């Protein structure tokens, strides 16, 4: 038996095939969708008190990251940086430590930049205007729409990947959802039909239905969907074909050797360049390509007490895949180089090392 209320099942029936326009189709699904959301919305920490700052932080964290993974990060971040002023003032290294494990560190950099703009130009108050929000660093049309609608109740759309998929299936659209022009069309379509009251719930309902019913991977749960009666993809058996997305380009493979350099109970880390991948973050030393054991002594020109080969690991970025070989190297003398020698405790508590190195940082004791 389906676990949803009688009211979720009160759906509009289309009189004849394709008699509804896209706008009529979306209006017909509104009430069943909102009823479903009222009964099935997940309990999430940022929904309990949807103030602008909390909505903003949660939406940035949720980009490229699963909801369950975000929950503890959100709670920790809010405890440490409870408002825009605190975020604007936080030292970058502290910010990165709070962000450690979430990845895509430019998101954190842009949060701090945007907080500075809010403090300087808006007196510390996050603007309500969709257009003003889009001028802040790191805030695009989706995040701006989420903040404006959820925190301020302004009837503007918040179109993310979930919404693109849901609306494409409901309307039977075969447009490529990875094109910005298609996203813009979707925003304009929703802007014309979304309710003037309860815009935040409407946007969250679309996102939620895409996350747990009209799912991105595997078969959508059409039998549990409050919009099934007006969904073109369900009616015509097109849920495997819609949405349409251009195939991703294959990732570039990069081979690297990662080193845990140990000297007098401390481990070497260093700061990466200020531009490029993982800019300005701390890392374990490493070199391009795969080294062999005998090469290490030549590299550091100091006596080695011990060399231990570590398991191979890999890390996948959006366009690059690192395939890593690791060594733990115990040094008898301090080598030359721009290294910071830190204790395991300092790595855990103070310095942020990206998750790309997690397979090796976990071995530091």
DSSP symbols for 137-201: TT--HHHHHHIIIIIH--------HHHHHHHHHHHT--SBTTSHHHHHHHHHHHHHHS-SS-HHH
**CA–CA separation, 284 and 364 (whole Å):** 11
Q: Enter the tokens of residue 183.
A: 């996203």
Name the phi and psi angles at 61, rounded to 5.
Answer: -65, -35
How many beta carbons lie within 10 A of that of residue 35, not counting itself? 20
Q: What is d(CA 73, CA 78) in angstroms, rounded to the nearest whole number?
A: 8
Rounded Cα gap, residues 234 and 232, in angstroms? 5
List active site positions: 59
| Per-residue DSSP letter, 6 | G
Q: Roughly how many angstroms between the first and final C-alpha of the chain, as a whole number?
A: 52
C-alpha separations of 120 from 94, 151, 275, 344 in Å: 22, 21, 26, 39
Q: How does 204-243 read in b/e, with b if 16+ C-beta sit within 10 Å?
A: bbbbbbbbebbeeeeebebebbbbbbbbbbbeeebbeebb
């Amino acid at each position: 038996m389906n676990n949803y209320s009688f009211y979720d099942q009160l759906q509009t029936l289309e009189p004849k095939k394709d008699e509804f326009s896209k706008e009529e189709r979306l209006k017909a699904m509104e009430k069943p969708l909102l009823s479903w959301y009222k009964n099935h919305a997940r309990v999430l920490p940022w929904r309990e008190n949807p103030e602008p700052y909390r909505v903003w932080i949660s939406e940035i964290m949720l980009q490229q990251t699963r909801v369950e993974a975000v929950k503890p990060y959100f709670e920790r971040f809010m405890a440490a940086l409870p408002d825009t002023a605190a975020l604007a003032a936080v030292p970058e290294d502290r910010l990165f430590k709070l962000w450690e494990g979430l990845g895509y560190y430019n998101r954190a950099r842009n949060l701090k930049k945007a907080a500075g703009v809010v403090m300087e130009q808006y007196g510390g108050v996050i603007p309500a205007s969709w257009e003003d929000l889009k001028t802040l660093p790191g805030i695009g049309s989706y995040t701006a729409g989420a903040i404006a609608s959820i925190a301020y109740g302004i009837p503007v759309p918040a179109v993310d990947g979930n919404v693109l998929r849901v609306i494409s299936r409901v309307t039977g659209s075969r447009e490529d959802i990875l094109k910005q022009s298609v996203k813009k069309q979707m925003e304009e379509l929703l802007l014309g039909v979304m309710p003037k009251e309860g815009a935040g719930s409407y946007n969250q309902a679309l996102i939620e239905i895409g996350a747990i019913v009209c799912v991105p991977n595997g078969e959508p749960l059409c039998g549990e969907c409050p919009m099934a009666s007006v969904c073109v993809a369900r009616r015509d058996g097109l849920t495997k074909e819609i949405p349409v997305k251009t195939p991703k380009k294959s990732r570039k493979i990069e081979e690297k050797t990662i080193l845990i350099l140990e000297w007098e109970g401390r481990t070497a880390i260093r700061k990466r360049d200020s531009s490029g991948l993982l800019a300005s973050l701390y890392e374990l030393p490493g070199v391009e390509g795969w080294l062999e054991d005998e090469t290490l002594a030549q590299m550091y020109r100091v006596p080695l007490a011990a060399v231990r080969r570590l398991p191979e690991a890999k890390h996948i970025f959006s366009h690059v895949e690192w395939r890593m070989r690791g060594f733990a190297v115990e040094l008898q003398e301090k080598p030359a180089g721009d290294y910071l020698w830190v204790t395991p405790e300092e790595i855990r508590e103070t310095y942020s090392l990206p998750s790309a190195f997690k397979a090796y940082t976990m071995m530091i004791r």
